[in-house]
Amino acid sequence: MSIKNVQALIAEDFNKVNESIMAALSSDVALINELGAYIILSGGKRLRPMMTVLCAKAAHYTGDKHISAAALIEFIHTATLLHDDVVDHSDMRRGKETANAIWGNEASVLVGDFLYTRAFQMMVDLDSMQVMRVLAQATNRIAEGEVLQLLNIKEPDITEANYFNVIYSKTAKLFEAAAEVAGIMAYETSGQPEYQIEAFREYGKFVGTAFQLIDDILDYTASAEEMGKNTGDDLAEGKPTLPLIRAIQMGTPEEAELVRTALLNADVSQLDEILKIIERTESLTYTYQKACEQVEMAIKAIEPIADSPYKEALVELAKYSIARKF
């Protein structure tokens, strides 16, 4: 099963998710409609809402509230992107100018706030205190992760454990919640087994971690056209991601010092030399192996889930997280 087959499998529900997104995006304020539509329709992969729909189907959920849940998950994700681009001073995302580059930082932050609050309005309509608790905790943890990442900027000596804590908080946590809420809804309203909740939660966490690891690899391997942002952006922002952490650990003292200095100064002037160090120390291979381990754990996590085309699609989605080129 390919990722296109996965998309085809849930096409009917996913069309409803997109309709829900567009309906909820509507506002009397023209700027919200304009900027919100720009970022929402700018070509994202929609992996998180896809995960919610697939998990709901795999869990034999019989209602339709997974549609709204998937849509609000995408709103939370989009809000984080708007805020991230302001914090990172980014001018390119998904191959297009960032919203803040067009409308300014103030508008991007405020529309991001609108999307967050709209997501919470949609949460209330799901009529599940447990779902609200999971999503509220996830949103709070994401915010913590963003602050942690900010504190790590230009800090070349952070540990691998610190790095994994950051990517769990800022990225994997929303994947985790996207999968978990589907299990909760199936348990609460369709009488499905409670063990599915934990299975989906673990699955989402591991896939989300793998996804971010690959993102951090692609920052040093993909072209701007493929990735939709500039090569070496993480270094330019002073972000100590795993490829750089590993390069510092495994490089010669001279190589380690070069990478450390570049991180301290958020300096990409010697990017070519740093790429050679990353290659010589096999730091990308190491990072990829870590991502593969996460995918293996994700697939193992859903072993208790009954076999179905939707479970098969979840396995394919996990594999896609490490096979993608952008």
* Residue 117 CB partners (closer than 8 Å, separation 6+): none
Q: Quick one: pLDDT band at residue 193, thresholds 50, 70, 90?
A: very high
State how far the Cα of 220 lies from the Cα of 205, in Å rounded to an integer: 24
Tell me the per-residue pLDDT of 245-275, one tens digit each, with 9 for 90 and over.
Answer: 999 999 999 999 999 999 999 999 999 999 9
Q: Is the torsion defined by CA of 37, 39, 45, 48 positive or negative? A: negative
What is the domain range of residue 237?
A: 3-323
In this predicted structure, what is the pLDDT of residue 98? 84
Q: Is 253 helix (H, G, I), strand (E, B) or coil?
A: helix
Compute the average pLDDT of residues 1-28. 90
| Six token digits for residue 4 | 């296109």
Compute the average pLDDT of residues 199-203. 98
Compute the average pLDDT of residues 8-27. 92
Domain count, the chain: 1
Q: Is the torsion defined by CA of 109, 110, 112, 116 positive or negative? A: positive
User: What is the domain-level CATH number for residue 131?
Assistant: 1.10.600.10
Q: Is 228 helix (H, G, I), strand (E, B) or coil?
A: coil
Q: Which residue has the tokens 């790429």?
A: 275
Q: Where are the beta strands (DSSP E) in 66-125?
A: 92-93, 96-97
In the predicted model, is pLDDT for residue 18 greater than 70? Answer: yes
Amino acid at 49: P
Mean pLDDT for the chain overall? 92
Q: Is the torsion defined by CA of 127, 124, 51, 147 positive or negative? A: negative
Q: Quick one: pLDDT band at residue 221, thresholds 50, 70, 90?
A: confident
Q: Quick one: pLDDT band at residue 153, thresholds 50, 70, 90?
A: very high
In this predicted structure, what is the pLDDT of residue 156? 93
